[in-house]
Chain A
Amino acid sequence: MTSSTNVSCFHEARRVAIFGGTHGNEMSGVTLVNLWIQNGKEIQRKGVETKPFITNPRAVEKCTRYVDTDLNRAFTTENLSAPSGDDLPYEVQRAQQINEIFGPKGSPEAYDVIFDLHNTTSNMGCTLILESSKDYFNLQMMHYIKNAIAPDSCPVLLTEHPLLKYSTSRSVAKHPIGLEVGPQPQGVLRSNIFESMRVVLKHALDFIELFNKGLEFPPCTVDVFRVSEKMDYPRDTNGNIIAMVHPNLQDCDWEPLNPGDPMFQTFDGTTIRYEGAGTVYPTFINEAAYYEKQQAFVTTRRETLAAGAIKKT
């Protein structure tokens, strides 16, 4: 078969959701979704039902990341199949409700696309998060978005990893897409960050509309950063952090970190260097929410993914 006839066909992406407030203190998503719940004109596209949705209203109300447990880690098979009950942590109950409305996860009834809106204190710019390297629909969408916002860039983080992949709220859909925009402090709304998230979503919805109209998207490649290793802060025997992200690494998300480069700085000024085998591309550098998850940053490796042509069935 030649590549010109090798087109992957997908059903029309009719049911699309936009999640905000999965973490209640990540304000761009909370604000955008609340706006669109009141007036959804901006997110309407022909042939698409787009549903804006606040996933963790209690956390949003308290302006906190979560109430009992991180909602964006709660969509495990175990949690989703557990018998429902009031004694379950709030976010587990919420995950079950969300799975009912937008899933069930893994079934034909699940929503076609879910965009999950996040902010980070890291200097990640406008990052798109991809969960599967084989999701041609998502790859084509990301390719479209990257072209649309050029010369601005939109790094793609691939979280496909046997240990490091986590069960996100968006994973309920057939095509889950994370939007991670930073740097922005938790609890703060910066208008430039808010606007850039809005623009990326606009292009994403444009893509879906074009796809649903029957446009065929030719084969393409997408440069991604595949997640590799989680790096914790150096700690003492009591678990207290004893060094900080080195000034040379701070804010350098997506830039190469070579063996021997400074990585951490102890409180008395000693430099701790990266001792990996080769060059990596760190990201989520100094994310506030990850101190408790034992993560100072995550390393990634560059990869080029190929996506075949796609078309509506």
Chain B
Amino acid sequence: MEGREVVLPTVSRVALCGGTHGNELSGVYLVRERLKRKVEEEDHFSVVTVMSNPRAVQQCRRYTETDLNRCFTHATLSGPVTDKTPYEIVRSQELNTLLGPKGSPEAMDLVCDLHNTTANMGLCLIAYSDCDWISLHIYRYLQRQMSDIPVRFIHFDLPLNEAYSLDSVGKHGFAIEIGPQAHGVVRSNILSTMQEGVQHMLEWVHLFNSGTQFEGGKVDVYTMVKNVDYPREFETHGITAAIHPQLQDRDFCLLRPNDPVFQTFSGETLKYKGTEPLYPFFINECAYYEKGIALSLARQRSVGIPSIRSEREGEQGKRKSSAEEMEEEEEIKGEMEEEGYQKLMEYGEESDSLNGQYN
């Protein structure tokens, strides 16, 4: 990707959050250890370590009254608080004060929220934007540094005020989601992977803030398209089938029309009825049964990212608000898509060679 180099403000204030779901233990343990060792200052930037939902952590449950990681929409953050307000909504407003306010210049530069999933997803960065260059460069850096585990980027296409998770509070943010791990369990290999991921992320921030230029390129991104629920009984709403054994654990393996999706309890196979082949993820995630999600489906595409570096001394322009930064990002994205399209016409799909790695 030639040409446009993007200069961005340094990432000087980072928040690392765990225990947003109290039974997703890699993040809980990682945060606990950091808090014990009182790690706060790295070179060139500060890191605030937060146990997001201490009550849920103490009970080793996902949440006590309502899912904390759905409480960060603008509507919930600005709602009134009474003594009847669920604990997690009170907490989301506290976290917004601590790490935000969301959408303002005072918000943390980067919020990274640590999660586990029962699905076989490897390591995924999950974010709301596919043109936040900081997040995408961190993603690419992790991919290159971590060879033992597949690293992927999932994009939920929601505008900022509708974005509901904790990571949306920062100017830049993403969740790091690692699986498979049962809730309530710490697997040493999964914890090591998370420690490594966090380590590399902080390394990248340090390098970025020190003035390193990160060259542009292309990365694969999975954009969420839709959720698929279990087949359910009409009256009781109980599920009548399980994820088919040929789909179980095959996150990010392309699901084609007529591929098996569910197996009913009487042994019948239910097939994928969509017309477009899509990539499944969050296959059989425990916490999603109650949300009516058996699996999610995504489209994969190649996204061009520009070369970036941090602002030098004296180069500081006026501080942009998140909205202005996003507008500029969209502009650059548009330019790059055009460029990318032209390249596609010339050279064909370059990203196919990366696809084979993770199946």
Contacts and interface: CB of A to CB of B under 8 A. Distances in A.
A76 interface: no
Contacts of B183: 185-187, 288
Contact of B189 (A35, A184, A250, A288): A250
12 contacts: A63-B290, A185-B180, A185-B182, A191-B263, A244-B29, A244-B186, A244-B187, A245-B188, A247-B189, A250-B187, A267-B33, A291-B184
Contact of A188 (B33, B118, B192): B118
B184 A250 contact: no
Interface of B: 29, 32-33, 60, 118, 180, 182-189, 191-192, 238-239, 242-245, 248, 263, 265, 284, 286-287, 289-290
Given A192-B245, A192-B248, A194-B242, A187 B188 contact: no
A246 B180 CA distance: 17
Contacts of A77: none
A63 B182 CA distance: 15
Contacts of B287: 187
Contacts of A286: 185-187
A183 B182 contact: yes
Query: Counting chain A CB atoms within 10 Å of each CB, which of B238, B263, B265 scores highest?
Result: B265
A35 B248 contact: no
A188 B188 contact: no
Nearest to A32: B265
A190 B243 contact: yes
A34 B33 CA distance: 43
Contacts of B239: 189
A289 interface: yes
B244 A191 contact: yes
Nearest to B182: A185
A184 B180 CA distance: 11
Interface of A: 31, 34-35, 63, 121, 183-192, 194, 240-241, 244-247, 250, 265, 267, 286, 288-289, 291-292
Nearest to A182: B182
A102 B180 CA distance: 39
A173 to B, nearest CB: 26
A191 B185 contact: no
B265 A35 contact: yes
A35 B239 CA distance: 11
A188 B265 contact: no
A187 B284 CA distance: 10
B118 to A, nearest CB: 4
Contact of B60 (A121, A194, A244, A291): A291
Contact of A187 (B33, B192, B289): B289
Contact of B182 (A31, A186, A189): A186
Given A187-B289, A190-B242, A288-B183, 19 more contacts: A31-B265, A185-B185, A185-B286, A186-B184, A186-B286, A187-B286, A188-B284, A188-B289, A189-B239, A189-B242, A189-B243, A190-B248, A190-B284, A191-B244, A246-B188, A247-B188, A267-B191, A286-B186, A286-B187
A288 B118 contact: no
B350 to A, nearest CB: 36
Given A121-B185, A289-B184, A191 B29 contact: no
